[in-house]
Structure 1
Amino acid sequence: MSKVIEIEDSQFKSAVIEENQPVLAYFWAQWCGPCRLVSPSISWIAETYSDRLKVVKLEVDASPESVSQCKVEGVPALRLFKQGEVVKSHEGAIGKDKLKEFVEAVV
């Protein structure tokens, strides 16, 4: 079972902004080829850091408000939140090692 939590706009505030622990928000789209390449690494991060990082996944077409709020311009996109604020962001495909570095800077 994946520890990645799928959410939509209506859950964004409670699942991300009001969360006490750091949150990695993964923005993706079904039509996005690079998203399919990144997804296994996102699942790995969710499993590996489950004790200190919450990982949520938002489908961009179904979550336009969150996409706008997080200034997502392309997918896949990552936003790392700490205490309700974006502390790191990345757009485009990312390898497992770089993703690990991206997350470890905050957790």
Structure 2
Amino acid sequence: MDKPNVNRKPGEGAPGQGEFTRVRTPNKREGEILGTVVSMLGANRVVVRCADGVTRMCRIPGKIKKRIWIRENDVVIVVPWEFQNEKGDVIWRYTGPQVDWLEKKGYL
């Protein structure tokens, strides 16, 4: 019986296995758009330059705010508001390997 590897962090794959990156892509039917954070405004607000060319002031909902940190130059998914196109909500933040995958597949 093998001993557990105490040097490996929880969640890491076994040594020798290929890297696997799971990536959530924007759902066009729900109006989700990729964007890049331009600046932080404070009070859970950020300015995001979206893929459709519009710069939106977006808010970070509490569900996202409590779990992950969003910084400048992060790639995020934005859902524009129906009644005001210059504003929206941030619903997802991509990690570094996920951004590399998006660039490789042509989403960015």
Query: Given the two structures, how large is their TM-score scaled by the length of structure 1?
Result: 0.29
Greater length-normalized contact order (CA 8 Å, ≥ 6 residues apart): 1
Q: Which has the higher helix share?
A: 1
Query: Given the two structures, how large is their TM-score scaled by the length of structure 2?
Result: 0.29
Q: Which has the higher strand share?
A: 2
